[in-house]
Amino acid sequence: MIADTFAGRVHMEWAAGERAAMTPLGQLPFFIEYLKQGGLFDGWVAGCPLSLTSPNAPSKRDILGTVMLSVLAGHRRYAHITTLRCDPVNPPLLGMNKVVSEDAVRRALSKIETEAGRVWLQEQLDYCTRPLLREPWILDVDTTVKPLYGHQEGAVVGYNPKKPGRPSHTYHSYMLANLRLVLEVEVQAGNQHAAKHSAPGLWTLLDRLGPQCAPWLLRGDRDWGNEGVISEAERRGQAYLFKLRLTKRVKQVLERAMRDDDWHDAGAGWQGKHGEIRLIGWSRQRRVVLLRRRLAGVMITQPQADGQLALGFVEIDEARQEAWDYAVLVTSLEAEVVTIGQLYRDRGDCENSFDELKNHWGWGGFTTHDVARCRIMARIVALVFNWWNLFVRLADPDHHREAITSRPLLLQAIGRQTNHAGRATVTITSSHGERDRARRALTRIAAFFATLRETAEQLTDLDRWYRILSHALIKYLKGRQLDPPRRLQAA
């Protein structure tokens, strides 16, 4: 065929199907070796509680491999799986016989018993993250909303600031701060967004981790600053940092504090001071940190009918024509005000993780009529998200790279497979503007795995996984090596 373009006529032809062993994910073999060396994919498949007895049923490896490839490619709907079915290169590298259809995936997930599926995926999340929990770490707890557009189980109208009145699910998540790794996620109905619905899962998670792996700090937004959560954290001896709602009593404290001049620099343009407060319903006084920030160019500051200001609680100094934004934190820490302020500002990174998981990883999609499969897919997405983030750390230990930049750089490239004299070769052609940087990074990763294969043949999958984590998180661990517990080594 001929296409008449502005550069002249171009002759077009389709490659013959049998001879064109091509893939759009040409750099995926590096990630596949990472999964193999760490025992991640094999362990995930072996532990899956799926049992299909039909002689025509696909294998567990084909089903889970298809799901993983779909999530890794950035898909949001089961229908997108069809785009993977003509890839003749990567599925065999994962030990798969074929890429199964979207209907086969949906049917297979419906066969997994709810509790067995939860235990299976939680074990895989723990295998991925638990080695890091003996270091001082911060647990971020938060909830995000997933709007729904059909008649799904649990689709209830609740808190939905972006689409008011739209039914939704709520994703209650628990994350390892700084590293952006998901420890657990629960899918609940749209009207179950409050902290009281998340708290049981939080305490269950902390009980499972035990005192040796407990977080250094528990951190959450204003929904968590209530007596039930705070008193339980104090009973457990768990340090916490929560934001308080600006209730009438809290505003009175702020108004009195505004008259004083003992405000100190809290970083990033904020000023702060500490004090104590006992709200109605609290069992005792607790330490609070008051923060304020001068606002510039406030557009809407008129009080509403109920007396609250349109932009939240904003204090206006009429004499100086200045407007101040306030925040009040309750904490068990005895640190300086500037430290407390920075710790809470760092919590904003949790919101970036939600944006990435919903818009680039599938938490905003993969919806079915029953909530059971939504819960399974939410945990599978979180697991693949963790795998990819740690793999990217091998390429760049100093920074977190979001999927919107790391996938095109380290995953997406045209790969052409050829076979000659029993040797398979994948030739990579990347169209990325920084393909040379990607090539150097992937070459370093390949060299690391080559060394691991040569020097660690006698090691178990768990031993190799600890070495991979130590290499990927060398900056986070400050050069220390992670050692597998003896009990796990013996097992």
Cα 2 from Cα 441, distance rounded (Å): 40
Give the H or E element holding residue 226.
none
Which range is least confidently modeled, 100-109, 158-167, 237-246, 377-386? 158-167
For the segment 98-156, what is each residue's pLDDT rounded down to a tens digit? 999 999 999 999 999 999 999 999 999 999 999 999 889 999 999 999 999 988 998 99
Average of pLDDT values for 277-305?
A: 75
Cα 150 from Cα 156, distance rounded (Å): 11
How far, in Å, are 442, 448, 458, 482, 485 from residue 471 at the CA level? 14, 9, 19, 9, 18
Q: In 10 A of CB 2, how many CB atoms?
A: 8
29 pLDDT exceeds 80? yes
For the segment 171-195, what is each residue's pLDDT rounded down to a tens digit? 999 999 889 999 999 999 989 988 8
301 pLDDT exceeds 50? no
Q: In 10 A of CB 8, how many CB atoms?
A: 7
Cα 407 from Cα 75, distance rounded (Å): 12
**Vertex 449: Cα angle to 445 and 451 (nearest 5):** 115
Task: Tell me the pLDDT band of 489, cut-offs 50, 70 and 90.
Answer: very low
For the segment 216-274, what is each residue's pLDDT rounded down to a tens digit? 999 998 889 899 999 999 999 999 999 988 888 888 888 888 777 788 888 888 888 88
Q: What is the pLDDT of residue 296?
A: 67
Q: What is the pLDDT of residue 315?
A: 52
Average of pLDDT values for 274-289?
A: 88
According to the per-residue pLDDT averaged within each range, which of 48-62, 266-280, 309-323 is highest? 48-62
Average of pLDDT values for 342-367?
A: 88
Yes or no: say if 385 and 402 are a contact pair by the CB < 8 Å rule: no
Average of pLDDT values for 445-463?
A: 85
Q: What is the pLDDT of residue 42?
A: 95
Q: What is the pLDDT of residue 319?
A: 53
Structure-token match 């994919």, residue found: 41
pTM for the whole structure: 0.89
Q: What is the pLDDT of residue 297?
A: 54
For the segment 328-349, what is each residue's pLDDT rounded down to a tens digit? 999 999 989 899 989 998 888 8
Q: What is the pLDDT of residue 300?
A: 46
How far, in Å, are 86, 241, 398 from residue 214 at the CA level? 46, 15, 25
Report the chain's terminal Cα–Cα distance, integer Å. 62
Cα 22 from Cα 84, distance rounded (Å): 12
Average of pLDDT values for 76-87?
A: 92
- Indicate the domain borders of the chain: 23-107+387-490, 233-346
Residues 6+ apart with CB under 8 A from 43: 124, 127, 461
3-state secondary structure of 57: coil
Average of pLDDT values for 373-391?
A: 96
Task: Tell me the pLDDT band of 28, cut-offs 50, 70 and 90.
Answer: very high
User: Is 421 or 446 the better-scoring residue by pLDDT?
Assistant: 446
In the chain, % of residues over pLDDT 70? 92
Task: Tell me the pLDDT band of 310, cut-offs 50, 70 and 90.
Answer: very low
